[in-house]
Amino acid sequence: MPVGSIPKNALSFGAGALLYAPLGTTLPTNTVAGSVFIDNWPAGWVLLGVTREGHELSYEIDTDTVEAAEYLDALATVTTGRTSGMSFDLMQIHATNLKRALNGGTLTTSGSGATQLNTLKPPQIGQEVRCMIGWEATDATERIVAQQAFQVGSLSIARRKGADNASLPVEFRFEPDANGDPFTYWSAGALRG
């Protein structure tokens, strides 16, 4: 019996847009019309800016096996842990993005315009803050929100010659929200269902 035509219509293209918000910021309402999201992200969400190569969403479970001497095969596989997060390389270097990459700190500003001086001090150990991370697909058919995220990556800013510009490589680890969910994924339209 022939298998029929293999589906090829739910492809996803483009880096989309990464967003940042303080903990407790209102979530988008996810209003869908014409198979796309048509609502704006609520106040408090800000665009993080361009990235070197988009982002990577990761989701990994740790498992262990239950074994018995009488069987060669494992009797069961049990979940022992879970890790999820998102990593990306921010190309817009400014004090506010550096503060986000450091999980907080003290940012003070004096002067304005061409005389503005920005001073950032990293947070004291144990005084780091969590945040919310969001993403929306280029075609407005997919969204992700982590309601509690913490930047755990090693921040290493490389300064090189030519077009190889500096950036802020970050890796946000998602932590469970009040419902125990590390993140929520929404999609718009029947094609993405």
pLDDT(97) > 70: yes
pTM of the model: 0.90
Question: Between 158 and 63, where is the model more confident?
Answer: 63
Q: How far is CA 43 from the centre of its chain?
A: 18
Both tokens assigned to 193: 């269902």
Give the HSE-up count for residue 63: Cα atoms under 13 Å, Cβ half-sphere: 9
Burial 130-148 (b: 16+ CB within 10 A, else e): bbbbbbbbebbbbbbbbbb
**Which pLDDT band, with edges at 50, 70 and 90, does 1 fall under?**
low
Cα 15 from Cα 49, distance rounded (Å): 11
Report residue 63: phi and psi, to 5°: -135, 165
| Contact of 146 with 133, CB cutoff 8 Å | yes
What mean pLDDT comes out for the span 51-73?
A: 97
pLDDT value for 7:
86
pLDDT value for 157:
87
| Contact of 126 with 180, CB cutoff 8 Å | no
CA angle 15, 138, 23 (to 5 degrees): 75
What mean pLDDT comes out for the span 52-66?
A: 96
Report residue 45: phi and psi, to 5°: -85, 130
Q: Are strands 76-90 and 106-110 parallel, antiparallel or unpaired?
A: unpaired
pLDDT value for 11:
87
Q: Are strands 131-136 and 106-110 parallel, antiparallel or unpaired?
A: unpaired
E strand or H helix at 193, and its extent?
none
What mean pLDDT comes out for the span 45-62?
A: 96
pLDDT digits (tens, 9 = 90+) for 2-36: 788 888 888 899 999 999 999 999 999 999 999 99
Both tokens assigned to 191: 């094609």
Cα 28 from Cα 33, distance rounded (Å): 15
